[in-house]
Chain A
Amino acid sequence: MAINSIWVFAQTAGGAPTTGTLELLTKARSLSSNVSAFIGGDASAVAGALGEYGATKVYATGDLAGKLPGPAVSAAMKAVIDGGDSPSVIMFPQNYEGRDVMARLSVKLNRTVLTNNTDIADSADGVVATTPIFGGNTLVNTAFTGEGPHLVSFRPKSFAAESASGAAATVVAASVPDTGAAGAARVTAVHVEESTGPKLDEANIVVSGGRGLGEAGSYSLVEDLAKLLKGAPGASRAIVDAGWVPYSYQVGQTGKVVKPAVYIAAGISGATQHMVGMKGSKNIIAINKDKEAPIFGVADLGIVGDVHKVLPQLIELLKSRG
């Protein structure tokens, strides 16, 4: 066994562990019986849930008081490792905070990182992580060849979160040492972008719009259809970058990964960056004017047509059915 113990960088939202955290804990406990969560913040409210999903211990930094997690949590991790508890593997979510903490820690420990993974195994080659490339057409298995701790991050929904009915994790304080100039940035205000209806990454139906909508005003077609289908509206990176909708709507490699029962892509050509975020959907419907658009290569039902005609007709019919 190359893996003795595993840490999972844990995150919370609204007082509970994020789904991503529970996914990583579920995978971690399948690889090791010695799994700890490491949290940038207070753990008292979440030790129960973290334990339920497989963490026996949770290291907690306590309130970060406006410090960014990158320098602060990595310094706390380094201190625990220097103190003698050095895990074989540290699993991070492929998101903003996960990337920052992993990057800072990689320098502190002088260890390589493997990012954007969807699987991990303890094999004859050592600890091996799987990364999909070229839009998911090719899978690359990469082994860590150096000393641990091995730093590895995973895309959302790489694993299914399943409760292990474990007892509450033991909370262990892991305070943040002085981070000097590197830790000098401070969060002065937090903004939460409210959305109504089901969450994008949890919705059963997702309707996404792209550049083919032509103008920001046409995005309301996407919202109307999503609402009628009790789904969530999403977007391609192109229209998020153009400022039509907030970033929280973005589906893709640098946005949310969604796997709904039905994904409707309206006016989206299907850039690799977007496909990575939606091709795991059970059923895909694509509407696009360009019959050569790559999105048709993954669609179960492709409509070569104008979204400005098809969407209003569809919305009218669904409304008339009540």
Chain B
Amino acid sequence: MNIVVCVKQIPDPATPGALDGSTNALKRDGKLILDESDAYGVEMALQLAAANGGGDVNIVSMAPNGEMSGMRTALAMGAAKGVLISDPALAGSDALTTAKVLAAAIQKMGSADLIIAATESSDGYTGTVPEQMAEVLGLPSVTFAKKLTITGLSLKADRQTEEGYDEVECPLPAVISVTAGVVEPRYPSFKGIMAAKSKPIDTFTAADLGVTPTGWAGAGQKVVAVTQAEARQAGEVIEDDGNAFNKIVSFLENLKVI
């Protein structure tokens, strides 16, 4: 069972985000880390491979500046090797171009039985790349899976819905997006972290993959204005002295909701 996990390397969410003044795109020029959402996919892949007779779990990522530090985290968890697509010509790519690039890289990596991604990234959260990738590859997909098992040549997933969840069956190969919480990601062990330093990461450009980068001009979209939203003002903050509950009740009474 060969599984490819799509991982995104993002600016640390703990630091405030900022827009690049000239492009109005999110700044991604510093050190990038593995998107926490992707740790679930990596863990799911490792567990599925182990439960289905082994096989490789490989990762693929598209990132600026040859950035690999987030990929090393996924390799430290246990993924075997990585493929990085890094190309200045891809800067400004929209989700559709990203999906085309990832799909081309996955095809170049060879026969994957299963492709796993998160439902959306934590920095850009467009949330369409997994399903777009499936369409580019001509594969079936189950998005928003919160439970996933594999038997032989097909998979069963519990797929999140507005009202609850659906049980879905899907033949392999397939693209799956997993929600946070589908499995509990392992922490990389010291041994894993050391081993990850020497695991191979192949780097490709768009041209290597036969994808024509469209960049800013071809993204089909352009930021025309950035404005500050009206900020919500903070109200009164009090320390609980044992009577704060009375304050809440008066607040609710004033609003005439009790």
Chain A contact residues, CB within 8 Å of chain B:
13, 18, 68, 70-71, 74, 94-96, 99-100, 102-104, 106-108, 110-116, 125, 128, 132-134, 136-146, 180-193, 204-205, 229, 237, 240-243, 246-248, 253-254, 261-262, 264, 279, 283, 285, 287, 291, 296-306, 309-310, 313-314, 317-318, 321
Contact = CB atoms under 8 A, between A and B. Distances in A.
B251 A132 contact: no
Contact of B170 (A110, A185, A301, A306): A185
Contact of A192 (B134, B164, B179): B164
A191 B17 contact: no
Contacts of A253: 125
Contacts of B235: 299-302
B207 interface: no
B240 A310 contact: yes
State which size class the interface on B falls in. 35 or more
B251 A142 contact: no
Contacts of B246: 317
B226 A187 contact: no
A112 B238 contact: no
Contacts of A113: 94-96, 126, 128
B28 interface: no
B135 A182 contact: yes
Contacts of A95: 162
A141 B226 contact: yes
Contacts of A182: 134-135, 138-141
B252 interface: yes
Contact of A145 (B17, B99, B134, B222): B222
What DSSP secondary structure best describes chain A's contact surface?
A: mixed
A191 B147 CA distance: 14
A94 B235 CA distance: 31
Contact of A191 (B167, B232, B236): B167
A138 B228 CA distance: 5
B136 interface: yes
B20 interface: no
A242 B166 CA distance: 20
Nearest to A281: B232
B20 to A, nearest CB: 12
Contacts of B242: 309
Contact of A99 (B143, B179, B239, B244): B143
8 contacts: A145-B219, A190-B167, A291-B237, A300-B235, A302-B238, A304-B237, A310-B248, A314-B248
